[in-house]
Amino acid sequence: MVSEPGRPDPITLGVVWGALRSICVEVGSSVQRTAYSIQAREGQDFSVAVFDAQGRMSAQGPYSPGHMGAMNFAIGNFINAFAPEALRPGDTLLLNDPQLGSGHFPDFLVAQPCFWRERLVGFGVNLVHHTDVGGSRPGSQAVEGIFDWHQEGLRIPPVKIVEEGRENKTALDIIAANSRVPGNVLGDLRSQRASLRVGEQRMAELYERFGSETVDACVEAMIQQTEARVRERIQAMPDGEYRFEDFMDDCGSGTDPLRIAVLVTVSGDRIAVDFAGSDPQTESGLNSYFNYTRSYVYAALKCLTDPFGPMNAGALRPIEISAPEGCFLNPRPPAGGGPRAAICTRIFEVILGALAGAVPDAVTAANSHFCNATFGAWDPVRKRRFVGYELIHGGTGARAARDGCEAMSSPYNAANIPIEAVEAATPVIVERFEFIPDTGGRGRHRGGLGVRRDVRILAENVKLTNLSERRRFRPFGVLGGEPGALGRTVINPGAPGEYEIGGKASVDLRYGDVVSFQLAGAGGYGDPAERDPALVEEDRRLGLITRW
């Protein structure tokens, strides 16, 4: 069986495809094992992809989908900044510009041009959420007190961070000088670069084995095959115009809710998603640059159409996404965007909500909203500045066939950070980490429960940025299911003078204050009256509910 040029045989195609995927995984495990910051190494808040020389994404690693909308366009943005002929072996590229990258400064997008026989054949890319890039609050994710991105920290346009093997020391020094925790940032950046060197070597080996004509033809075929399959799956969905709307609580204490409206149009083998009617961009950090908005639309539609299929440029082609320029899902620079992670779940969920009637067996109700608070101060014991990073995940929405999952990350897919790792790195004591009974939305199937994590901070003048949701608008149920319970954040719960703070609040805390993060419960699915009494009894026995 010999491959004709331009039309690879099924075996060669399978081999090249498998090899590209495994390159992503190898780069990803290397990032995880060598990263310094707890959100990267424990929370796995990073992603990996490989691209061909034209900048088309050919494979993605199984990490955070939130970076994918950015990823797919990132190489194009680098190529606009550096013409391909200006790239040399040994160059490594970096950017964190929100509009060119994934929507906020902490995400460092690093691209490694891959050369084979002195020719540019593709790119390895990884994206890591860094701990702190300066700005008004530790963690660089403030909502309040931001009116544009200049309060959010250091913006890095596309730069060669390594030029023909020589580190760009000037750029590295500027980055280090602008972070509250320069050691972490430089360490994570080293981890990104080292892992991509491995990726480049693997790409070169692949081209050496098959030659560029065959590999390029395989990438073309992969993209086409994937596109054809996604179109086939969309074709199977009932045509129609599906609308949904939901609200974000606010964009800082005392502000109004933010409407997020979506129209999903399924017609033939195409899907169009339009966010017209969503609220205008905000004078706060709470805006989702379009790359980021796209990421979660792609992720939601991927879940509904082809969850086990490959993720590459072809999977995205049948999908058209629009949001009016100037709305908070497609803001004009220099809008703030640091805390945009608070928006991702909602973008994902409104797509599910819109399509619940069209594909009732595939959707879920709304999830318990996660919390991504950051805080920083002087660590009196370790004698250094620190930035703490919490990633608290609750349950997922109920489904046609079963209850929502308890304590499962969705849809951004990160892990939690072990208590013993947090306490070894920062001056905090976690005092509780547990389910909150009776928070899951009732239904034929129950939504997952909210989770509570209480953190005592042992430092003076702590600058806390809360980042959570679902204080006013309960996570919706679908097809008759009830919404989950609201979440809240309480300072010093149970103590005299306890008080609640907003989901996006920036507050100063004193030594020994406890922050109790209490997440909302996820939504239910179907009529609660239809729930199997045995399941109700079991929930009661386990203490997951006390009433029904």
Partner 1 sequence: MRSSVQVAFDVGGTFTDFVLQDAEGRLHTGKRLTTYPDPTGACLEGLDEIMARTGAVWPELARAVHGSTLGSNLVIERKGADVALVTTRGFRDVLAIGRQKRYELYDLQTERPRPLLDRTQVHELTERVLADGSVYVPLDLDEARALIRRLGESGVRSLAVCFLHSYANPAHERRFGELLKQLAPAVEVSLSCDVAPQFREYERTSTTVINAYLVNAVREYLRGMTGRLAERGYGGRLFIMQSSGGAATAETMADFPVRMIESGPAAGALIAARYGEMTGHPDLIAFDMGGTTAKLSLITGGRPQTVDSFELHRVRLAPGSGLPLNVRSLDLVEIGAGGGSIARAELGTIQVGPESAGSAPGPACYGLGGSQPTVTDANLLLGYLNPDGFAEASLRLDLEAARRAIAEKVARPLGLPVEEAAWGIHAMVNLNMELATRVVSIERGHDPRTLALVATGGSGPAHACRLVQQLGVQTVILPASAGVASAIGLLAAEVKFDLSRSRLVDFDRLDPEEAEDLYREMEREAEQALGALPAALVREVDLRYSGQGYELTVPYENARQEFERLYGRRYGMASPGEALEATTWRLTAIAETPHVELPRFAPREARPPQRRPAYFPECGGFTETPVHPRHQLSPGQELEGPVVVEEHGSTTVLPPGVRARVDSYGSLLARW
Q: Which of residues 274-313 bind partner 1 (CB under 8 A)?
A: 299, 302-304, 306-311
Using CB under 8 A, pick the residue from 17, 105, 123, 275 that binds partner 1. 17
User: Whose CA is closest to 350, among 364, 362, 337?
Assistant: 364
Q: Which two tokens stand for residue 370?
A: 């996660």
Which is closer to partner 1, CB of 38 or CB of 327? 38
| Distance of alpha carbon 203 from alpha carbon 491, whole angstroms | 51
Report 368-407 residues binding partner 1 (CB under 8 A). Answer: 393, 396, 399, 401-402, 405-407
Q: How many CA atoms lie within 13 A of 258 on its CB side?
A: 28
Q: Indicate which single residue of 3, 24, 32, 282 sits in contact with partner 1 (rule: CB under 8 A).
A: 32
Q: How far is the CB of 209 from partner 1 (least distance, A)?
A: 7
| Least distance between partner 1 and beta carbon 433 (Å) | 6
Q: Pick from 279, 454, 482, 513 the residue near partner 1 by CB under 8 A.
A: 454
Instruction: Report the C-alpha gap between 520 and 452 in whole angstroms.
Output: 9
- CA dihedral for 415, 420, 426, 429, sign (positive or negative): positive
Nearer to partner 1, 244 or 435 (CB): 435
Exposed, middle or buried, 541 (CB in 10 Å: 0-12/13-18/19+)? exposed
Chain-centre distance of CA 500, in angstroms?
27
And the tokens for 251?
């964009």
364 near partner 1 (CB under 8 A)? yes
Structure tokens at 119: 């020719």
Instruction: Outline where DSSP puts E strands in 394-548.
Output: 428-436, 450-457, 462-465, 488-491, 499-501, 506-509, 514-518
Strand 57-60: give its sheet, edge to edge: 57-60, 46-52, 119-129, 107-116, 92-95, 159-163, 166-167
| Alpha carbon distance 76, 69 (integer Å) | 12
Closest distance of CB 19 from partner 1, Å: 7
317 lies in the binding site for partner 1 (CB under 8 A): no
Residue from 226, 291, 293, 372 in contact with partner 1 (CB under 8 A): 226
Our CB check for partner 1 shows the closer of 145 and 357 to be: 357
- The three-state secondary structure class of 524 is coil
Minimum gap (Å) between residue 481 Cβ and partner 1: 15
One residue of 119, 150, 166, 209 binding partner 1 per CB under 8 A: 209
Question: No. of H helices and E strands in the chain?
Answer: 11, 20
**φ/ψ of residue 89, rounded to 5:** -55, 135
CB closer to partner 1, 22 vs 168: 22
- Interacting positions 463-492 with partner 1 (CB under 8 A): none
Cα→Cα distances 131→21, 40, 457, Å = 28, 9, 18
Q: Classify residue 505 by its DSSP letter.
A: -
Give least dist CB 492 to partner 1, A: 15
**How many Å is the maximal CA-CA distance in the chain?**
78
Using an 8 Å Cβ cutoff, are 409 and 299 in contact? no
Residue 179 three-state SS: coil
- Segment 142 to 201, residues that bind partner 1, using CB under 8 A: 183-184, 187, 190-191, 193-198
Phi-psi region at 497: left, alpha or beta (left = phi > 0; alpha = psi -120 to 50):
left
* Between 306 and 527, CB nearer to partner 1: 306
> In the range 229-258, which residues lie near partner 1 by CB under 8 A?
229
Least distance from partner 1 to the Cβ atom of residue 92, Å:
12
542 part of the interface to partner 1, by CB under 8 A: yes
Shortest approach of partner 1 to residue 419 CB, angstroms?
Answer: 6
- Per-residue string for binding with partner 1, 33-52, x by CB under 8 A? xxxx-x--xx-x--------
Tell me the closest approach of the beta carbon of residue 425 to partner 1, in angstroms: 8
Q: Which of residues 52-81 bind partner 1 (CB under 8 A)?
A: 62-63, 65
| Binding-site string for partner 1 from residue 401 to residue 430, where x marks contact by CB under 8 A and - marks none | xx--xxxxxx--xxxx-xxxx-xx----xx
Q: Does 347 bind partner 1 (CB under 8 A)?
A: no
Count of residues that bind partner 1 according to CB under 8 A: 89
Stretch that binds partner 1, among 15-23, 48-56, 83-91, 333-341 (CB under 8 A): 15-23
Question: Please, which residue, 44 or 439, has the CB nearer to partner 1?
Answer: 44
Measured distance CA(291)–CA(323) in Å, rounded: 11
